[in-house]
Amino acid sequence: MFEFERYNQTFTWITHTLNILFLHDYYDCASSRVHGAEDSQETVFQEVQPLLTSLMDGYNVCIMAYGQTGSGKTHTMMGSQLLEEHSGTQQEAQQGIIPKAAAELFRLISEKPAESLTVEVSVMEVYNNEVLDLLARDAQGNSRVIVSAFHMFHRTVHNASEVMQIISSVLKLRAHCPTLVHTDSSRSHLVVTLTISSKSPNALALGETRCISQAAFRTKLQLVDLAGSECVGMSGVSGAALWEVSCINRSLSALSDVLGALAEQRPHVPYRNSKLTHLLQDAIGGDAKLLVMLCVSPTQRFITESLQSLGFGSRARQVQKELPRRKNPTLKVK
């Protein structure tokens, strides 16, 4: 049985058969939940939703889907195929983690009307170990611009609908390739980042010597649809696709190495061994909160890949972090 630390949770999803969630809380004993085929996307999201409140407390949060190609990661993160050719409209019942998380984020923000909060979105893909900005354009107007991990293009958004319209408009730019395992296999890691920031309001004078001010803060929600781990013998790829597979598998291995270093509390964590881990450093290191969803194929043919995915989840749950303290800036009287 898996146990996972409260703020470094592992979610196991067995596609088309059972959804199994193993939860260990600091304060409660370990418990298991089994989600059958009749369970909705909303049922799955209810396990993720409490983590999003940490954004308002000043913590970075990362939610990622991991598993072999064709195991249901994109369905988990995005939901079913967007309607009306990526128009951004989608039946709510079929929405995945990303649209539901965006809606929940703006709901949380609406509960803090006194605070001046700004939300910006960026959409990146890590393809062949290069970071490509799907929102940026070069001097010639071309998309998928190669950028550094910390120089991405942001767009300000005011609601969840705007977030999904932006994501939907660039999904077609993501690298795909048909394989023997999956007819529309993603060949890159998709990283959607929602950055929440507050501006310090002007000090309010209270008499001649007292004022109230609020410190600014900045947090990130990174939503990651990882490319699937892949066995070349089964996928049947050749030519340029072989290099894609190599880059995918090496970056996933680097991610596993980073989690291993964090679990063992090594003095050096190899974030720079991959563009993927370098990009996600703020969201998986320090006191950030990470949730990993493992998507596992129910087919006996893929048992080796399924066990490998479960091994990744086991490594993720071994990362131990201290109970974080509330970081949200509070009103200070001077």
Binding residues for ATP: 67-74
From CA 88, how far away is CA 241, in angstroms rounded? Answer: 30
Residue 296: in which H helix or E strand, if any?
Answer: strand 289-296
For 269, list phi and psi in degrees, rounded to 5: -110, 120
| Binding site per annotation, positions | 67-74
CA 56 to chain centre: 17
Residue 176: in which H helix or E strand, if any?
Answer: strand 176-177
Alpha helices, DSSP H only, in 79-193?
83-86, 97-110, 160-171
From CA 323, how far away is CA 308, in angstroms rounded? Answer: 29
Residue 57 near residue 71 (C-beta atoms within 8 A): no
Q: 156 forms bridges with which residues in the sheet? A: 120
